Amino acid sequence: MREGRLVVVGGSAAGMSAAARAKRRRPEWEVVVLERGPHISYSACGLPYYISGEVKRPDELVVLTPERVRKERGIEALVRHEVVEVQPSRRLVIALDLETSQERAFSYDKLVLAMGGAPKVPEVPGVDLKWVFRVRDLQDGIGLQEYIERENPRRAVVVGGGYIGLEMADAFRRRGIHVTVVEQADQVLGMLDPDVAALVEEELARREIRVVKSAEMVRLEGDSEGRFCAVHLKDHVERYWADFALLAVGVQPEVELARSCGVAIGPTGAISVSPKMETNLPNVYAAGDCTEARHVVTGRPAYIPLGTTANKQGRVAGENAVGGFRVFRGVAGTAVVKVGDLEVARTGLSTKEAEEAGFQVVSKNIIARSRAGYYPGGYPLTVKVIAEKGSGRLLGAQLVGREGVALRVNVFAAALSARMTVEEVGQMDLAYAPPFSPVWDPILIAANEALKLVR
């Protein structure tokens, strides 16, 4: 006996989390997921490791199939169904079945919008050439892998030096492909401070990944058969020849559907939501890469599309949609990326972000070892702490090193959630044993050094 019907638009992290949570909480509800692509619930973050060969088969990245969610969870997940219209006044969703090209109408009691984000496409000629790739979804990854195996390319150009660009550049390099990364800004990983990003650039150089910075791409050139062959940069005489190009210039929220049905868009360009993940329309929730989130440091809306956040927001939306009560507490901008042998992580605000948010900033950069000095196998670890002058409030942290980075950044993330000062961070009772850290963990050293600058 159905009590209500939840319709979810989008079958990725946020959508499937919402559906699963709703169904678990209220099994008597009917839950329908409408997904445009051929897959639900796959790990997009795993694509670079599939390309590199560390993950052997694409289906290893598929967490759930429509069959499984139907059978095991009682969720109806319809793939190849593109939602083309939402009629909030009639509580109706119109989807196009891409197999049959027929329109189907789904009525809903509650609706969760989880359309995700879409890779930005540079507005230059040539982006539609053959062998110009992007990695939006699993199909893109499979297509790229097939291309690599079939054509055995020797040279790649990666456009964009963000997380995905560098992960993909690294994956290509592991396959023996020569890589040039073309980055518009004057550093890779724009979410890092320049001095920290410089450490990543050193590692890229060590891996023989060429980086061209301050590079504005003006054109992708094709050969006579319409296949990509070179990138043209503004003010560069030289063309950058390669066998293929990967575009990874960032992600933007997919909001056309939401906008067209009257859902309010926030200052970041993504869907504006309450802490309960409600949109401005009754009975309509949103979650994941199409929405914005409150930043725990600034308290203001931010657009930081990441799978972890999508999962959490999806759960909150699903819970609330069927009558529960949960709030999403916001994002800290925590992220980690592996580049060559380096772990690179950040959380909170960068120096630039903190200044733009109106903080008076102090920062301190330290190098300490990942293990006790006398214990074999440790590595130097760079930790940068960003704090507010005067109050000493922790604003952000960035870490780079060969081990112990990814998990250490989480301690700073916890401290940001709790609005700790660097004085408090510097006194935390962290675990110590020689194989795992020096007696003063690099976290504590960095916080205590930053403390000296605060007053």
- Window of 84-92, 94-102, 111-119, 412-420 that interacts with a second copy by CB under 8 A: 412-420
65 binds a second copy, rule: CB under 8 A: no
Q: Mapping DSSP to helix (H, G, I), strand (E, B) and coil, where does residue 162 land? A: coil
Tell which one of 329, 356, 367, 390 touches a second copy (CB under 8 A).
329
Residue span binding a second copy (CB under 8 A) among the ranges 124-132, 150-158, 261-269, 399-407: 399-407
Q: What is the 3-state secondary structure (H, E, C) of 103-130?
A: EEEEECCEEEECCCEEECCCCCCCCCCE
Q: Which class for 287: exposed (0-12), middle (13-18), buried (19 or more C-beta within 10 A)?
A: buried
Residue 413 in contact with a second copy, rule: CB under 8 A: yes
Residue 164 beta carbon to a second copy: minimum distance, rounded to whole angstroms:
11
Coil, helix or strand for 374? coil
Residue recorded with tokens 């329109």: 103
Tell me how far apart the alpha carbons of residues 18 and 40 are, in angstroms, rounded to a whole number.
Answer: 13
Contacts (CB under 8 A) with a second copy, residues 221-260: none
Query: For residue 169, which phi and psi values (nearest 5 degrees)?
Result: -60, -45
Candidate ranges 137-145, 239-247, 266-274, 406-414; the one touching a second copy (CB under 8 A): 406-414
Q: Does 337 bind a second copy (CB under 8 A)?
A: yes
SS3 call for 411: helix
Specify the stretch interacting with a second copy by CB under 8 A; choose among 219-227, 280-288, 368-376, 383-391: 368-376
Q: Is 301 in the site for a second copy (CB under 8 A)?
A: no
Question: Token pair for residue 272?
Answer: 């504006």
Tell me, what amino acid is at 51? I
Please report whether residue 341 would count as binding a second copy according to CB under 8 A.
no
Pairing status of strand 244-247 against strand 251-253: unpaired
Active site residue 229: no
Structure tokens belonging to residue 433: 């044993």
Q: Are 120 and 250 in contact (CB under 8 A)?
A: yes
Contact between 39 and a second copy (CB under 8 A)? no
- Shortest distance, CB of residue 405 to a second copy, whole angstroms? 9
Q: Which is nearer to a second copy, 84 or 407 (CB)?
A: 407
> Is residue 68 within the footprint of a second copy (CB under 8 A)?
no
Decide if residue 427 touches a second copy (CB under 8 A). yes
Of the candidates 414, 449, 453, 454, which one interacts with a second copy according to CB under 8 A? 414
The minimum distance between CB 404 and a second copy, in angstroms, equals 6
Is position 436 an interface residue for a second copy (rule: CB under 8 A)? yes
Tell the smallest beta-carbon distance from residue 118 to a second copy (Å). Answer: 20
Number of residues that bind a second copy (CB under 8 A): 65
Least distance from a second copy to the Cβ atom of residue 223, Å: 35
Assess 407 for contact with a second copy (CB under 8 A).
yes
Angle at 275 between CA 271 and CA 278, to 5 degrees: 50
Which residue in this structure is represented by tokens 């250490």?
Answer: 408
Q: Is residue 288 at the binding interface for a second copy, with CB under 8 A as the rule? A: no
Q: Does 379 bind a second copy (CB under 8 A)?
A: no
Closer to a second copy by CB, 95 or 349: give it. Answer: 349
DSSP one-letter string for 310-350: HHHHHHHHHHHHTT-------B---EEEEETTEEEEEEE--
Q: Does 298 bind a second copy (CB under 8 A)?
A: no
Q: 141-144: which pairs have CB atoms within 8 A and are 24 or more residues apart?
A: 141/47, 141/50, 141/51, 141/58, 141/61, 142/58, 144/51, 144/246
Q: Of residues 10, 11, 37, 46, which one binds a second copy by CB under 8 A? A: 46
- Tokens 């980055």, residue located: 183
Of 214-222, 262-270, 306-314, 357-365, the window that binds a second copy (rule: CB under 8 A) is: 306-314
Closest CA to 277 of 88, 23, 32, 22: 22
Rule CB under 8 A: choose which of 283, 375, 402, 453 binds a second copy. Answer: 375
Q: Residue 196 and residue 220: Cα distance in Å, rounded?
A: 31
Asked if residue 400 lies in contact with residue 381, where contact means CB atoms within 8 angstroms, the answer is yes
Q: Which stretch binds a second copy (CB under 8 A): 28-36, 79-87, 150-158, 415-423?
A: 415-423
Candidate list 79, 248, 437, 446; residue touching a second copy; CB under 8 A: 437
Percent helix / strand / coil, the chain, rounded to 5: 30, 30, 40
Are β-strands 30-34 and 76-78 bridged in parallel, bridged antiparallel, or unpaired? parallel
Active-site annotation, residues: 45
Q: Which residues of this chain interact with a second copy, rule CB under 8 A?
A: 13, 43, 45-46, 49, 54-55, 60-61, 296, 306-309, 311-312, 328-338, 343, 345, 347, 372, 374-376, 404, 406-411, 413-418, 420, 424-425, 427-437, 439-441, 443
